[in-house]
Chain A
Amino acid sequence: MSIPAVELTGVHKSFGKAKIICGVDLSVAPGERHAIIGPNGAGKSTLFNLITGRFAPTQGTIRLHGEEIQGRPPYEINRRGLSRSFQITNIFPQLSVFENVRCALLWPMGLRYSFWHLVSGQSELNARADDILERINLAGRRNVPAGLLAYAEQRALEIGITIAGGAEVIMLDEPTAGMSHSETDAIVALIRQVTEGKTLIMVEHDMGVVFNLADRISVLVYGQIVASDTPEAVRANAKVQEAYLGAALEAAE
């Protein structure tokens, strides 16, 4: 069996006395599209933040491609090939759309903290940034300051920044939040296209999107994973139905 792309064992997280994550075990295989669902306040975003290094877990280990990463700063985890997006759009508002994407490419392309390369001279860098803009359909907005984009465009840019560096593991936090139906369809197609051959972990409320995209689904309730299985099995799981899914499924149909 191959090494899981992401593996959590016995992860706990408390803020003061509040226990948000209480013993999560989770394993995501390379190339898998994995969705984490659960009711509001279940700790999905916290779990995301633990994996990506925004918070350090109180207890437990988190492995990325077999290497322990818990408690490391976000930039180190990112350098090991994990990239994430945010639920609340998190871009560089004063930089142009093109600059936003290019900034996401600098580290992966080995330019690091260089102050002896001019970015304009890096033709491959600029070509790749423009290529990403094409893929997220923002080529026409190339030189607009990102803060002036419409909401859906900012969401697309958010995903563009996340996938630009070619990270092996992509984590998307509610990529379709606040979008209309047609916008959701476009973004789902985009996600499917850009995460081809990669490991995807996503938090999502829209069950249509979840069952459309995910190979496996984990259900998080009150800081614990109550089920982790294929969409069909999760759909049939009594515990899940009881906890949460029934109502949501009805709403989706």
Chain B
Amino acid sequence: MTIAPTSDRQPQDTLTGSQWRAALPWLIAFALLLALPFVFRSSSAITVMNQMAITVIFALSYNMLLGQGGMLSFGHAVYMGLGGFFAVHVMNTLLVPLPLLPLFGGLFGLIFAIIVGAFSTRRAGTVFAMISLGVGELVAASSIIIVSFFGGEAGVKGDRTEAPAFLGINFASQTQVYYLIAAWMFLSALAMYLFTRTPAGRMANAVRDNEERAEFLGYSQRTVRFMSFCAAGFFAGIAGALIAINFEILTEENLNLTSSGVILLVTFLGGVGFFIGPIVGAVAFTLLQSVLSLQTDLWQLYVGLLFLLAVMFFPGGLTGVLAMHGPAWRHGKLGLLTVPYLKLTAVVVTGILAAACFLEILFHVRHASVGENTMRLFKLTIDTHAVWPWLATGGVALICLALANRLAPDVKAAWDAANLPAKGSARR
């Protein structure tokens, strides 16, 4: 939501006036969350924002493992899904007011995390990743079999409006649901941020960096990981309960491996190195998903390629790329980069669009029914069996590739110049 200076690399705890400065991003976020429904009023926009907020909680909770604790999980959706299923059942008892429901989801996620964490957090790395995968498969498969709790393939339905009214609110309107989700998102994000500032959270970072050294400082790496794991399970459960409130149904899809994979993707794209990384990732991914999936059948291919390129070239994710510009910003030389960046961006965007068009035409030719020779692309009608669309899109893509190659040295030179400290400030 906000590009807050909340990186764990720049502690500013003991600076004077720092408390106010630390609170500022949260105040801005709070105001933004309040104002958003007045700016984006359409029901589809609110649907997207609800989805986004839930993904933010889930991604932040995932990053407690991956980014903060150094644990790669392939089964984190399990805790969200289980929390969600439990929350639906609680909702259906009609005893609990809706705003308190996420607490129940969180508790259930926590309980399951305590059980699994008891044996999975002994080591990080591949052992942890494999156990998370195994547990993920186990729970996903069990969810089909155990009908009484998971409702089989149909899932479990609920009706949020039947829950006891809370201060006269019955949550029939989407906006009411938005504020409920936004409030929980704000509280969860704040709690997760504060967790990183506690001894347990600081040691999670330390164990991630060097588990052996942490043991020689009095900390059991297993206990440190276990605590992060349980906290992550709790917040994932909260996200699950919000799914129950928002969609009023939970199915196997909410806890299977695909969901776990998606949240890895979201978190990684946003950047695991900073607290706001997963927030950026969740917002960007939800937008990308809701825009692309309407426009093209190939969106999963594009997202997959994007992810692969990100791992190869930008392992720090979006926030990592932004943070790379910190030195240039402090030297006041960001301006040097503007023109080369604009040039490169224009070329790369054109190239990607052309390549995507090429793929779309190819896909259409391969899979359209016989005799269907035209397709619509960006409001153009294209005859896919003519030569010129192929030549145009393929040609533009190749030219852009060549141009990008030509531009690369300029950008590199500008980058080096911008990162050179200004004269007189000879600090390393």
Contacts and interface: CB of A to CB of B under 8 A. Distances in A.
B213 A120 contact: no
Of the candidates A104, A108, A115, the one having the most CB atoms from chain B within 10 angstroms of its own CB is A115
Of the candidates A73, A92, A118, the one having the most CB atoms from chain B within 10 angstroms of its own CB is A92
Of the candidates A103, A107, A126, the one having the most CB atoms from chain B within 10 angstroms of its own CB is A103
Q: Specify the main secondary structure of chain B where it touches its partner.
A: helix
B197 A119 contact: yes
Interface in A64-101: 73-75, 78-79, 83-84, 86, 90-96, 98-99
Nearest to A127: B14
Nearest to A118: B197
B348 interface: no
B416 interface: no
B9 A92 contact: no
Interface in B204-231: 205-206, 208-210, 212-220, 223-224, 227, 231
A115 B214 contact: no
Nearest to B198: A115
B71 to A, nearest CB: 15
Interface string A164-198: 01000000000000000000000000000000000
Given A78-B218, A95-B205, A108-B218, A90 B200 contact: no
B263 to A, nearest CB: 23
A107 B215 CA distance: 11
A104 B218 CA distance: 8
B11 A73 contact: no
Contacts of B220: 73, 75
Interface residues of B, number: 34
B9 A117 contact: no
Contacts of A107: 217-219
B195 A103 contact: no
A104 B14 contact: no
Nearest to B199: A111
A28 interface: no
Nearest to A80: B218
B237 interface: no
A77 to B, nearest CB: 8
B364 interface: no
B218 A115 contact: no
B14 A99 contact: no
A112 interface: yes
Contacts of B223: 113
Size category, A interface: 35 or more
Given A112-B199, A115-B199, A118-B197, A75 B216 contact: yes
A205 interface: no
A106 B199 contact: yes
B202 interface: yes
Given A96-B9, A161-B217, A91 B199 contact: no
B210 A118 contact: no
Given A78-B217, A108-B218, A94 B198 contact: no
Contact of B216 (A52, A106, A108, A115): A52
A225 to B, nearest CB: 24
A9 interface: no
Given A75-B220, A106-B202, A118-B197, A91 B231 contact: no
A84 B215 CA distance: 11
B201 interface: yes
A84 B199 contact: no
Contacts of A126: 13-14
A118 B8 CA distance: 14
A96 B209 contact: no
B10 interface: yes
B199 A113 contact: yes
Nearest to A52: B216
B202 A93 contact: no
Nearest to B18: A120
Contacts of B213: 86, 90-92, 161
A216 interface: no
Contact of B199 (A73, A78, A92, A117): A117
A12 interface: no
Given A115-B199, A115-B201, A117-B198, A93 B11 contact: no
Contacts of A84: 216
Contacts of A115: 195, 198-201, 227, 231
B210 to A, nearest CB: 5
A119 B216 contact: no
Contacts of B231: 115
B205 to A, nearest CB: 6
Contacts of A92: 205-206, 209-210, 213
Nearest to A86: B213
Contact of B198 (A96, A99, A118): A118
A212 interface: no
Nearest to B230: A115
B397 interface: no
A94 B227 contact: no
B203 interface: yes
A116 interface: yes
Given A95-B205, A113-B224, A90 B212 contact: yes
A94 B203 CA distance: 12
A2 interface: no
A94 B14 contact: no
A78 B217 CA distance: 6
Nearest to B10: A143
B86 to A, nearest CB: 23
A145 interface: yes
Contacts of A123: 14
B327 to A, nearest CB: 12
24 contacts: A74-B215, A75-B215, A75-B220, A78-B216, A78-B217, A79-B218, A83-B216, A90-B213, A92-B209, A93-B210, A94-B9, A94-B205, A95-B9, A95-B205, A95-B206, A99-B205, A103-B214, A104-B217, A106-B199, A114-B199, A115-B227, A119-B202, A120-B18, A161-B213
Q: Which 8 A-B pairs have the closest CB atoms?
A: A120-B13, A107-B218, A92-B209, A111-B199, A115-B200, A74-B215, A78-B218, A115-B198
